[in-house]
Every structure is written in C-alpha cells, then in structure tokens.
Structure 1
Amino acid sequence: MEQNEGGYFMKDRILSVDIFRGMTIVLMILVNTPGTWSAVYRPFLHAGWHGYTPTDLVFPFFLFIVGTSIAFAYKNKSVDASTYKKISVRSLKLIGLGLFLGAFTLTFPFIKDFADIRFPGVLQRIGVVFFFASILFINCNWKTLIGISVVLLLGYWLLMGFVPVNGVESTFDRAPNNLANYLDVQVFGTHIYKDDYDPEGLLSTVPSIVSSLLGIFTGLILLSKQPKKANILMGMGGALLILGYLWDVVFPINKALWSSSFVLVTAGWANLILALIYYLTDVKGITFGSIFRYAGANAIILYFLSSFISKIMGMIKIDGDKSLHGWLFDTVYVHDFMSLQLSSLLYGLTVVAFYCLLAYILYTRKIFIKV
C-alpha cells in the first residue's frame, strides 16, 4: 500500500486525522488567496498583533497535526541510521521548497536578487519543526516530552520577557526591543518578512516545536487502547485553553511571536475540534468531510502548488500593470450588486474548489505525493 506525506500506511489511518488535516490545508489556501487584500472579512485576516482570529489558528493546527502524524509514523518503527536520514531529507526538502517559493521570479535567471530573498517561511518552519519533533519523539518517552515542552515554553517566556535588548527593557510589542524581532533583524538582516518582524522568525520557531509535540500526545492517545478517547481529547483541549488564557495575562496570545500562551490556546482548540470529528467519524461512523480527507492525503503538495501558482498569477502582467490575478478578479468577480468583500471571498472559494478537485483526482488515482 502506498504511503502519503503523513508517513503511515493507508490501512492504519484514522479518518478524523485526515479530515482535520484536510480542513486545515483548505483553510490555509482560502486565507492566503483572497480576491484582494483590501477587502477581506475580519475572520479571514490575522490579528493586528496580540489576540487571535480564526485565521491565526490555521498554521498551528497544521503543526499540531504534523505531530499527530509523527506519532502514527514512528510509534512502532525500529530506529536506525536510515530513519534519521529520511527525517533529515524530508526536512531539507520542505525547507528547500520554502526557499524556492521565496526566491522564485519570472525573469531570468528566475531567482530574485540575493538581498531580496526571504529566508524564513511557512514551509521552512514546517521542515524545522518536523525535524526536531521527530527526533525528540523517537528518542524520548512521553514523560520526557512533556518535560521538554514545559521547559521550552517557560524558557521562551523568560527570554522574551526578562532579557534586555541593547540595555533596554524587553517588550512583547512590535518594537526594536522585542527580543524575537531583534534577533531576526540581527541574524537575517533584510531577509525577513518586514523590516521589524517575521511571523516565522528564528526564536519563535522554538515554541512552535511544542505545537507539534502537543500533537504527538494527541496521536499517542488516538493510538492507545484507552476507552472514550474523544472525552480525553476534550478534557485535554479544555485544560490547555484554560492554561493558555491564564498565561495570556503575563505573556499575551500572539501568533507573530508564537507566544507560549498562543501555543496552549491553539493546541486546546485543535484537540477540541479533532475530538468532535473523531467522535462523529471514528466512533459514530458518520460519513462526512470526504473532500477534506482527499485534501489531507496530499496536504503539502496542495499548499505548495497553491502558493506557487498564486505567486505566478501575481507576477504575470496584462492590461498594463494589472496582474493576471487582479484582472481575473476584477473581470469575473467584481459586480455592483455585491460587496467587494463578498467578491473577494468568492474568488478565494473558487481557488479552494480547484484544489479540492485536484485533491480528489489524486486520491481516486491513488497518487500520494510525499515531500
């Protein structure tokens, strides 16, 4: 039986995990491809800084389910040199794809000037998180992983909150004396998302590893012989939410910084939603969300293609300086009888429908592309 990018055999799959992964990747594509960024409904935008919107849940949900897949892939697998090689190669492929997305341009030699290339990115973070979470999982028991998670989250909070920056008291605000922002500027220079911060920056990658470790714990519960697994996940999700909101008082929930409170709150929601899907599909046997299952089986390649094609459509110019993306949106989706926000959303839903169709074709032909 062929394997998909999650790494475990099709016969061993838990349906709710694929549905959750597929829902996540579909939402990632939707929030990344509106018709115009000037008219987007608030839930489909990131929070300005502190706090979170539904959109801010999407990326941590994906890292969470990466951890769940790691538990499925390596729980009963013998570990040798080839295991470390496969983990390393896959991580490097993800990082390489991310760097390619950031560096690609349409003009020869098809690579941006070096000074304009962004080094961090979504796929780069997935690659780094997958590497460390996998290595930790195959070398540590669950109790040790809990200890590591606690140390990483507490350590990150202490670093961010109490280490002065150039002799100035540190802050959690978007400012030069924010330690995460400061380190990104010092290490990456111009190779970051904004002049003063990067949402996939260096230091904030550390707590994002815990997002995946928390997904591993969920995976172990799903693989266990524990009765009433949905109840356990619900309880764990609720506990994480409470702890996250308590921590928010001193370390604000913040996606750009991937704050420790953000890790707990997003993992809490992930457990609650996955518990509901698990109860409906794997316990009650209710059939729904097949299209998400198809998308979940080829999640990474769908995300890469959507990002790459969207970038190309933004680069191709027609009708003067208007991009192919802009021309298509204005010509097909913008009408006087509907709001620009609705037009923008309909464009995004059309993009999602295209990739769902592609996912269906790949799935029915048993094509599972591993990265």
Structure 2
Amino acid sequence: MSETITKNRLISLDALRGFVMFWIMSGEHIMHALAKAIPIPVFIWMSSQLHHAEWNGITFYDMIFPIFLFVAGVSMPYSFENKMNLAGVKTPIELPSKEKQKIYRSMLKRTCVLLFLGFVVNGLLRFDGFDQTRFASVLGRIGLAWFFAGLIYLNFDLKKQLVWFTGILAGYYLAMKFIPVPDFGAGILTKEGSLEGYIDRLFLPGRLHSTVYDPEGLFSTVPAVATALLGVFLGTFLKTYNYFSSKNKLVVMLVSAIVLIGIGIIWDYDFPINKHLWTSSFVCFVGGFSILFFTFFYLIIDLLGFHKWAFPLLLIGSNSILIYIAAEGLVDFKHTAEYVFGGIIKFLPFIWQPVFNALSVTIVQLILLYFLYKKKWFMKV
C-alpha cells in the first residue's frame, strides 16, 4: 500500500470534505424525498439523521460542521510543509520569526475573508440594518477556530499542543459548569441559562440565530479550536511519523477514534453531547467519528488507490466553500434544475417526482463544479 498525495495534499481530504458538503448542498433533500417515496426503515432512519438534534444528543447532521473543521486541521501540517522545507527546518516552531510573521498575515487575511463571507451568507448585503444582521456564522467559526489552532501549531511542540487541547476542553467544561449566570446560577445548560448564551446576549452584536443564544456564538467557538487541533494532531501523525507502517497507522487511528468516542460518551453523563453549545463531550465524540470517517477515505483512496469512484466528491471538496455559499441562497439551483429537467420529470410517477427534483439539483451543481474544475477555477480562501 502506498499513499497518494498530490501537491502535498491527501486526496482523501478533498473526498471527505466533499462527502460532508454533499449533504448540505443538496444530499439531504434527496434522502428526505427517498424516505417519503420508499418509507422503509433504513431510509427513514437516514432521513432522521439529516436533521439537527433539538438540543442535547447528536445526529449525523450535527457532525458535518465539525468534520469540515477537523479536515481543515488535518490539512494544516501539509499546507505549511513547503515553507518549512524552504526554511530548512523540520518543525513549524523552528521557522524564522520573519517567515512566521508572513504566515500570520496570510492566516489573518484568510480568517477575515471567511468572516466577511459568513456575513454575506447571513444577508449582510441586504442592508437590513445593524440590529437585524447576524454576525456569527459557520464560515466565521471555521476561520477563527482554524486561525487560533494555527497559532498553537506554529508556536508549540506536539506535547504542548496536547496541553492546549486538554486545557481548552477542561477549561470550557469548568466555565460552563461553575461560572454563575445572572438569574440562573451555575451549570444550567439550557438555551437561556447557559454561560455561552449569556455571553452571546452580552457581547455578540446584531441578531442572534436563536434569539437567546447563537450556535456559532462567541464562547462556544473556544472548544471549536480543539476540534481543529484534533485534525492538526492527525495531520502531524500522518506526515511526520513515517516509521509507522500503513497498517500500524490505521490501527493507531482506529484506537484513537474509539478512545475519543468513549470519552465523549462517558463525559456526556455530566456534560451532555450538544452541538449547539459545542460541549467538550461533543468535541471528543465527534472527533472520534471524524477520525473514523477519515480513516475510511484514507484507506480506500490514499492507501488502496481506489479514487475514481470519489471523483464527484473531489469536485465538491475542491470548491467546498464556493458551493456552500452558493447553496446557502446566493444561487437558485432549484430554479435552474426545474428549467432544465422539469419537463422530463413531469412524465415520471408522482411519488418519484420529488426524488428526481432533488437529484436534478445535485446534477446542476455537479455540472457547475465540473466546469470550474476543468477550468482550474478554485475559490481559494
């Protein structure tokens, strides 16, 4: 078995990124329509997994965002490899200060762009007024968590990175459990009573997503840094520990995943797994599943070399930010799909029309992504 890396980039990273983004851009609608057309248990269960948990608990849909952030962390050691090679150093902390300053500026620019794009997705350009603008966003959290994880990666060795990771999760847990919130007290993990919600109401400008808190709010972005760090750890392991055989790497990843999932399940009894609050148990539980998903793609694509089947996922993953922004409302793919395929779909049995309507949206999106891929037009942030 041999690793397939293109331009210092694991192909499995783009495939996994494309896999999770597929469900956001249109895949969920296909599955919901299938569950209605063919209401067998497996389709009904899969459809139920494509909704967010109301509060505590978790579904597959809750994992999409953190897996995406995790993948961004995995790619970090690879993205800095050229800079380390040019500087003649083996670890990022050995980089000269001038080189680090250039990296900091580049990272800050990327974060600011993601913050701005998040504002745009939330409707900034509708000019509804400051009070009606939502400033917290998925893209903003990705930018901030990636930025601070990058600072930790560039300035601390692996042992100290692990200390940061542990400290972030433990510190967030202690703060959420023991810092009292006015009118509620300490350890009230509800929308209104949690410390995260209180900080959002106190300091987050504009409109909150859920009135009394924001799922991409200020304080819950702190443990999201730990999610990105988990990806950094995995990327460092794959890139640096070359004395491990491919088989041993897989074993280490599987054991790590099982341990993290176990920690998440145990911690859930005292600090519930909750995507809205991005709890420490949530970071561990989803971190374990992120490793499992990556391990599958890494084994099939990078080690065994079966990658042709994943080409549609690579199309999505190579332009993931662009298709996310477009699918979130900037482009009406449904209208285009109805215009192109609507006449044909009308001849199908009524029960199947919603399924093929949803599929037609995916086809239009993939055609656009294929065109951009062939032109080598990628949205680089």
Bin of the TM-score, shorter chain as denominator length: 0.7 to 0.9
> Is the aligned partner of 1:101 residue 2:114?
no
Q: Could you say if the C-alpha distance between residues 361 and 49 of structure 1 is closer, same or farther in structure 2, counting changes exceeding 3 Å?
A: same
Specify which of 358, 361, 365 is matched with residue 355 of structure 1.
365
Which residue does 2:51 correspond to in 1? 45
How big is each residue's C-alpha offset from its partner over 1:156-207, in whole Å with a ceiling of 9 and x where there is no partner? Answer: 1111111111153234543422111111111125521011221101110000
What secondary structure does 1:44 align onto? coil
How big is each residue's C-alpha offset from its partner over 1:304-336, in whole Å with a ceiling of 9 and x where there is no partner? Answer: 1222425x789xxxxxxxxx79x99xx888998
Which residue does 2:92 correspond to in 1? none
Which residue does 1:255 correspond to in 2? 275
- Tell me the TM-score normalized by structure 2: 0.81
How big is each residue's C-alpha offset from its partner over 1:187-236, in whole Å with a ceiling of 9 and x where there is no partner? Answer: 12552101122110111000011111000111112213121222221111
Distance 1:97 1:171 in 2: 34
Q: Is the 8 A contact 1:67 1:213 kept in 2?
A: yes
Distance 1:357 1:303 in 2: 15
Which residue does 1:317 correspond to in 2? none
Paired AA for residue 330 in structure 2: I
Distance 1:297 1:178 in 2: 38
1:137-156 paired onto structure 2 within 5 Å: 137-156=153-172
Paired AA for residue 285 in structure 1: G
Which residue does 2:20 correspond to in 1? 24
Q: Is the 8 A contact 1:157 1:260 kept in 2?
A: yes
Q: Could you say if the C-alpha distance between residues 336 and 190 of structure 1 is closer, same or farther in structure 2, counting changes exceeding 3 Å?
A: farther
What secondary structure does 2:190 align onto? coil
Task: Give the unaligned 5+ runs of structure 1.
Answer: 1-8, 315-323
Specify which of 128, 152, 167 is matched with residue 136 of structure 1.
152
Aligned residues: 342
Specify which of 291, 294, 297 is matched with residue 274 of structure 1.
294
What secondary structure does 2:215 align onto? coil
Q: Could you say if the C-alpha distance between residues 47 and 67 of structure 1 is closer, same or farther in structure 2, counting changes exceeding 3 Å?
A: same
RMSD: 2.8
Distance 2:115 2:28 in 1: 19
Specify which of 215, 219, 227 is matched with residue 231 of structure 2.
215
Which residue does 1:299 correspond to in 2? 320
Which residue does 1:338 correspond to in 2? 351
Task: Give the unaligned 5+ runs of structure 2.
Answer: 37-43, 85-98
Larger displacement relative to structure 2 (70-79 or 229-238): 70-79
The share of aligned pairs that are identical, in percent, is: 30
How big is each residue's C-alpha offset from its partner over 1:41-83, in whole Å with a ceiling of 9 and x where there is no partner? Answer: 3221100100011100100000000101112112452433211
How big is each residue's C-alpha offset from its partner over 1:222-272, in whole Å with a ceiling of 9 and x where there is no partner? Answer: 213121222221111111111111111100000000010111111100101
Q: Is the 8 A contact 1:31 1:55 kept in 2?
A: no
Larger displacement relative to structure 2 (204-213 or 166-175): 166-175
What secondary structure does 2:184 align onto? coil
Distance 1:68 1:191 in 2: 33
Q: Could you say if the C-alpha distance between residues 126 and 178 of structure 1 is closer, same or farther in structure 2, counting changes exceeding 3 Å?
A: same
1:68-79 paired onto structure 2 within 5 Å: 68-75=74-81, 77-78=83-84, 79=99
Paired AA for residue 199 in structure 2: L
What secondary structure does 2:271 align onto? coil
Distance 1:349 1:201 in 2: 34
Q: Could you say if the C-alpha distance between residues 162 and 279 of structure 1 is closer, same or farther in structure 2, counting changes exceeding 3 Å?
A: same
Q: Could you say if the C-alpha distance between residues 351 and 142 of structure 1 is closer, same or farther in structure 2, counting changes exceeding 3 Å?
A: farther
Bigger helix fraction: 2
Q: Is the 8 A contact 2:9 2:75 kept in 1?
A: no
Cα offset for 1:293?
1.4
Q: Could you say if the C-alpha distance between residues 51 and 172 of structure 1 is closer, same or farther in structure 2, counting changes exceeding 3 Å?
A: farther
Specify which of 185, 190, 204 is matched with residue 188 of structure 1.
204
> Is the aligned partner of 1:12 residue 2:8?
yes
Paired AA for residue 69 in structure 1: S
Q: Is the 8 A contact 1:61 1:266 kept in 2?
A: yes
> Is the aligned partner of 1:230 residue 2:250?
yes
Distance 1:187 1:350 in 2: 43
What secondary structure does 2:122 align onto? helix
Cα offset for 1:125?
0.7
Q: Is the 8 A contact 2:27 2:362 kept in 1?
A: no
Q: Could you say if the C-alpha distance between residues 65 and 338 of structure 1 is closer, same or farther in structure 2, counting changes exceeding 3 Å?
A: same
Distance 2:279 2:373 in 1: 37
> Is the aligned partner of 1:82 residue 2:102?
yes
